[in-house]
A and B are shown apart, each in its own frame.
Chain A
Amino acid sequence: NAGVTQTPKFRVLKTGQSMTLLCAQDMNHEYMYWYRQDPGMGLRLIHYSVGEGTTAKGEVPDGYNVSRLKKQNFLLGLESAAPSQTSVYFCASSGLAGVLIGELFFGEGSRLTVL
């Protein structure tokens, strides 16, 4: 009963390096989200997807790209990492009914440090 799985859980990058965070869900959910969590800032939405092959910008999309080639996977990419992208990243998913009642299922988070 995996739910939402994020990989990697920890990563240290140098400024300018690129990387991809993978989110996988096994609940056949339509909606998937990427948030970042920073001290004193709460959760901020980066990008989201309402179905396979679709993506949309959230509140803080700059510096990030996403892809949803398969329904179960939602990838978050950093093409050229910056220290301002040091954060904890959370993926979440929701089925149609879950979206209507606000029930998102979250992964355990990926802690990224950019030096």
Chain B
Amino acid sequence: GDSVTQMEGPVTLSEEAFLTINCTYTATGYPSLFWYVQYPGEGLQLLLKATKADDKGSNKGFEATYRKETTSFHLEKGSVQVSDSAVYFCALSDLKGGSEKLVFGKGTKLTVNP
């Protein structure tokens, strides 16, 4: 079945460092790909998305490019802030059965120190 594999955390960075969180996927069709973010004590919220190959999703300084040839959707940010400390989830859509369900990776916890 469809699956998502994320790099294991936790990841600890200093403020203004470059961030990469790797995500690869396995899918039988042509899924849409997403990054969700979960701030401490909150539910998840959509960060960015890409619906077809070579699309780049971006939001709040974060970017991810849908790479079909490498089945990847790595999350990047050029300069992280303390406020980016959160858990990040990669996800893909599953259109089987006529309804869309999201398949989530296990999450990567990011801590940014001042």
Binding site for B on A (CB under 8 A): 4, 31, 33, 40-45, 48, 50, 56, 58, 90, 92, 94, 99-109
Contact = CB atoms under 8 A, between A and B. Distances in A.
B86 interface: no
A107 to B, nearest CB: 5
A91 B97 CA distance: 21
Contacts of A43: 44, 89, 104, 107
Nearest to B93: A102
A1 to B, nearest CB: 14
A109 B93 CA distance: 22
24 contacts: A33-B101, A40-B106, A41-B106, A43-B44, A43-B104, A43-B107, A44-B104, A58-B101, A92-B43, A92-B44, A99-B99, A101-B32, A101-B49, A102-B32, A102-B46, A102-B49, A102-B93, A102-B100, A102-B102, A103-B49, A105-B45, A106-B43, A108-B42, A109-B43
